[in-house]
């Protein structure tokens, strides 16, 4: 055993990723760009929320989107149809986006032409929570059909996010989803997390979400 040298590859990878993420944040600050990392499980409504956000804020903020998917251009096509530029990152199997991937995407964007970049991370409640992308803030979506117990199963995701968007609240009457219990559990992990309930289908709660994002962008720019 004395002749065995142990190298923790995961620790090295995370350390290198963190250093690059910090460099990305510095680059964003230099260009006064706010970047949001939006995470969730598949089918929770990330693209729908981004589209609705674009429709409400594109006259106030110049928006760009980075799309992360294992395959397919379908989400990027929806974004471009809204008149907003998108960069598609095809991970080819990777279950998350990391700082090197985001750096590659940013190299293809003119940061002087955007105020807000939204990252649509790969659908997954595990890996994306572990990798810093260099984003200014992190938000997650939990949809009502997924159940209120996900905070118990994926605590890291709830712990690292600045905002929790509970989507598809139009399904509440058809489920036993307990919003109060979810909020209680989430706040136990992360006292500062902002929790918002929305329906991208009916529009309920979207003004609250957009106001939160608008305030975060403006506060960020005021601090520069």
- Does residue 100 contact residue 20 with C-beta atoms inside 8 Å? yes
What's the CA gap between 198 and 213, in Å, rounded? Answer: 14
For residues 81 and 77, give the distance between their C-alpha atoms in angstroms, rounded to a whole number: 6
Q: Is 223 left (phi over 0), alpha (psi -120 to 50) or beta?
A: alpha
Would you state the pLDDT for residue 88? 93
* CA gap 148, 109 in Å, rounded: 38
Domain locations in the chain as residue ranges: 20-223
Residue 221: predicted pLDDT: 97
Distance of CA 29 to the CA centre of its chain: 18
Mean pLDDT by 10 residues, the chain (224 residues): 56 82 98 98 97 98 92 86 94 87 96 97 95 98 97 97 98 97 98 98 98 98 96
Count of Cβ atoms closer than 10 Å to residue 191 Cβ? 7
CA atoms within 13 A on the CB side of 18: 8
Give the CATH architecture of domain 20-223: 3-Layer(aba) Sandwich (3.40)
**Residue in this structure with the two tokens 């006292």, named with its chain if needed:** 191
Query: Residue 71, Cβ neighbours under 10 Å: how many?
Result: 9
Q: Which of 213, 174, 216 is nearest to 52 (CA)?
A: 213
Which residues is 120 bridged to in the sheet?
A: 38, 67
Query: Structure pTM?
Result: 0.93
The pLDDT score that the predictor gives to residue 6 is 46
Q: Please report the pLDDT score of residue 123 as a whole number.
A: 93
Q: Phi and psi dihedrals of 65, rounded to 5?
A: -130, 135
Helix (H) or strand (E) holding 220: helix 206-223
């Amino acid at each position: 055993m004395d002749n065995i040298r142990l190298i923790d590859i995961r620790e090295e990878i995370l350390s290198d990723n963190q250093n690059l993420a910090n460099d990305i944040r510095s680059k964003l600050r230099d260009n006064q760009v706010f970047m949001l990392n939006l995470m969730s499980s598949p089918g929770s409504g990330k693209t729908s929320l981004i589209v609705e956000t674009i429709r409400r804020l594109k006259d106030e903020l110049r928006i760009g989107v980075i799309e992360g998917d294992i395959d397919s251009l379908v989400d990027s096509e929806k974004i471009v149809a809204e008149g907003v530029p998108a960069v598609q990152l095809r991970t080819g199997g990777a279950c998350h986006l990391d700082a090197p991937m985001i750096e590659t995407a940013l190299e293809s964007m003119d940061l002087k032409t955007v105020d807000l970049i939204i990252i649509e991370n790969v659908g997954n409640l595990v890996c994306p929570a572990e990798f810093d992308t260099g984003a200014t803030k992190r938000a997650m979506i939990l949809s009502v059909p997924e159940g209120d117990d996900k905070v118990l199963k994926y605590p890291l995701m709830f712990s690292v996010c600045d905002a929790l968007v509970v989507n598809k609240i139009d399904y509440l009457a058809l489920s036993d989803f307990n919003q109060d219990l979810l909020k209680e559990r989430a706040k136990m992990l992360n006292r500062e997390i902002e929790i918002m309930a929305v329906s991208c289908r009916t529009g309920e709660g979207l003004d609250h979400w957009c106001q939160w994002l608008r305030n975060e962008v403006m506060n960020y720019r005021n601090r520069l």
